Amino acid sequence: MRYVSTRGVAPVLGFGDTLLAGLAADGGLYVPEMWPTLAPGGVGDPGNYVATALEVMSPFVGGAIAPGAFADLVREAYATFESDEVTPLVDLGDGLHLLELFHGPTLAFKDVALQLVGRLFDHELGRRGERVTIVGATSGDTGSAAIDACRDRDSMDIVILHPADRVSEVQRRQMTTVQSANVHNVAVEGTFDDCQDLVKAMFADVAFRQRMRLSAVNSINWARVMAQVVYYVVAAERLGGRRAPIAFSVPTGNFGNAFAGHVARLMGLDIPQLVVASNSNDIVTRFFESGTMTLGEVVPTLSPSMDIQLSSNLERLLFELLDRDGAAVSALLDDFRATGTTVLDPVLHATLGDAWSGARFHDGEVMRCIADEADRSGVVLDPHSAVGLLAARRCRRDPSVPMVALATAHPAKFPDAVESATGVRPGLPERLGDLLDRPERCTRLPNDLAAIQAHVESCVA
Ligand SMILES: *Cc1c(COP(=O)(O)O)cnc(C)c1O
């Protein structure tokens, strides 16, 4: 399998180079040259996560990794999940289901992709005899998932910047209590935006970037999308088979998760409806409603992992909509960057049709949903998952088609919101029970590029 850029200019790459490159050299995102087709019957053991994962992902990996080695990486990645089913389904009645994606080591759905991507990076770098320094900024969630995915891997160091005193204690401790020599936490005396700016500045410093061999595992990496296609297929297998129609509702931020659902559809799964669920930061919902993409201010909400201004993975959908015309994608996004807004051709917008729906919910509705669902079914939702369930209920079109709402975080990750909605503070799962007693490792630094760069050098030395 070969990969092309959504902007059409960057070199065509194989899987290994696409994995390590992340962003394409022309600023675009890599997508496979063609979409493989799912066998309608599937493998012998429908609903088995690892078996389905191997079948779904193998065509994307192509010959880049030996099948036996790839199978080992996939098995190891999903053995870190607490549930044997990896992503268990919970029946809420009336054909409505929750797909719990939060049973990985850091209790959020990012683990599903990152546990595999960390291992893929290590494998590919090891094969090449190379070593990288992963750097990233986090407002809480992504950092812990990336750290857990990269800890103790021979071919990488990982340096994660978080805003000092501005992440919750659970979030901070999920990062700082990891006792691995290749994990380096930095608490920056500044905001999350400052952390992001520092990371961007480190990448922009070409000499530094090359000397440190900087790399990233961010949400535009193709391999993350690839890993997320799997649970859509697994859910279908568990609810009537690959040929039966099934709808999904996806709590959306960067649109990586929702786009993975679209890939499952392009590969042949019968998904008549994909619902994009937003909090008050609703750029994607507005895009599906009106074909207009407009930059807004980020509003902080109870579902912070969906508080984004621009959903970068929309670019992959635009590429498909525009018939894989990289120049047209570039023109649209240049317009967007220059003016803060862009409008899709109405004819193209109409082709989105019934395949996509969107809905947005503010924090008050989210709190009520968490309280109501705990009363009704006893299921305790985190705020992100509640947004997904609200949208599933509001947008569901055909009651004869099962609707699966993706649950993206464990309630214990957002204990304050859940406690104030339900009156009960959700407890951490047993394996994280002593998190608050574990020793922390973290360096506090001023919001100063030179100081951060000197620290990164000392970590890698
Ligand atoms: C990252 C994240 C999301 C958003 O997923 P995207 O793929 O960025 O759309 C939703 N919920 C949680 C808990 C997350 O961590």
Q: What is the pLDDT of residues 104-151, one digit of tens each?
A: 999 999 999 999 999 999 999 999 999 999 999 988 788 999 999 999
Instruction: Please work out whether the CB of residue 284 comes within 6 Å of at least one atom of ligand 1.
Output: no
Task: Please report which confidence band the pLDDT of residue 308 belongs to, taking 50, 70 and 90 as the band edges.
Answer: confident
> For position 395, what pLDDT does the model report?
97
User: What is residue 42's predicted lDDT score, i.e. its pLDDT?
Assistant: 74
Spatial separation of the C-alpha atoms in residues 275 and 246, rounded to whole Å: 12
Dihedral-angle region of residue 31 (phi above 0 means left; psi in -120 to 50 means alpha; beta otherwise): beta
> Among 87, 100, 101, 109, which residue has the most ligand 1 atoms within 8 Å of its CB, making it the best to mutate?
109
Contact 173, 436 (CB under 8 A): yes
Q: Is 90 helix (H, G, I), strand (E, B) or coil?
A: strand
Per-residue pLDDT reduced to its tens digit, 220-240: 899 999 999 999 999 999 999
Both structure tokens of 8: 């059409």
pLDDT at 8: 96
Distance (Å, rounded) from C-alpha 305 to C-alpha 142?
8
CA–centroid distance, residue 305 to ligand 1 (Å): 5
Confidence of residue 388 (pLDDT cuts 50, 70, 90): very high
pLDDT digits (tens, 9 = 90+) for 440-458: 999 999 999 999 999 999 9
Task: Give the chain's end-to-end CA distance (angstroms, integer).
Answer: 37
pLDDT at 261 over 90: yes
- Give yes or no for residue 136 CB within 6 A of ligand 1: no
pLDDT at 44 over 80: no
**Which backbone phi and psi does 292 adopt, to 5 degrees?**
-105, 135
Predicted structure pTM score: 0.96
How many Cα neighbours within 13 Å face the side chain of 202?
A: 30
Asked if pLDDT for residue 51 goes beyond 80, the answer is yes
Q: What is the pLDDT of residues 72-92, one digit of tens each?
A: 999 999 999 999 999 999 999
CATH number given to 89-108+222-422: 3.40.50.1100
358 pocket-lining for ligand 1 (C-beta < 6 Å): no
Q: Does the pLDDT value for residue 193 go beyond 90?
A: no
Distances in Å between the Cα of 152 and the Cα atoms of 14, 149, 459 are: 27, 9, 14
**Ligand 1 binding pocket includes 280 (Cβ within 6 Å):** no
User: Is residue 200 among the annotated active site residues?
Assistant: no
What is 130-190 written as a DSSP string? --EEEEEE-SSHHHHHHHHHHTT-TTEEEEEEEETT-S-HHHHHHHHT---TTEEEEEEES
Q: What is the pLDDT averaged over residues 406-420?
A: 95
The DSSP element (H or E) to which 252 belongs, if any, is none
Given a contact cutoff of 8 angstroms between Cβ atoms, the answer to whether 112 and 101 are in contact is: yes
Ligand 1 centroid – CA 446 distance (Å): 29
Decide: 305 in ligand 1 pocket, CB within 6 A: yes
The whole-angstrom separation of Cα 117 and Cα 76 is 12
pLDDT of residue 29 exceeding 90, the answer is yes
Burial class of residue 276 in the structure, from the number of CB atoms within 10 Å of its CB (0-12 exposed, 13-18 middle, 19+ buried): buried
Is the alpha carbon torsion for 369, 375, 376, 377 positive or negative?
Answer: positive
DSSP string, 277-316: EE-S--HHHHHHHHSEEE--PPPP-S-GGG--S--TTHHH
- Mean pLDDT score of the chain: 94
Q: Closest Cα to atom 15, ligand 1: which residue?
A: 305
Stretch 350-355: mean pLDDT: 90
- Give the tens place of pLDDT for each residue, 63-72: 899 999 999 9
CB 147 within 8 Å of CB 215 = no
Pocket test for ligand 1, best of 103, 117, 281, 306 (most atoms within 8 A of CB): 306
CA 79-120-129 angle, to 5 degrees, is 130
What gap in Å lies between CA 272 and CA 353, rounded to an integer?
10
Share of the chain above pLDDT 90, in %: 84
Task: Identify the pLDDT of residue 50.
Answer: 97
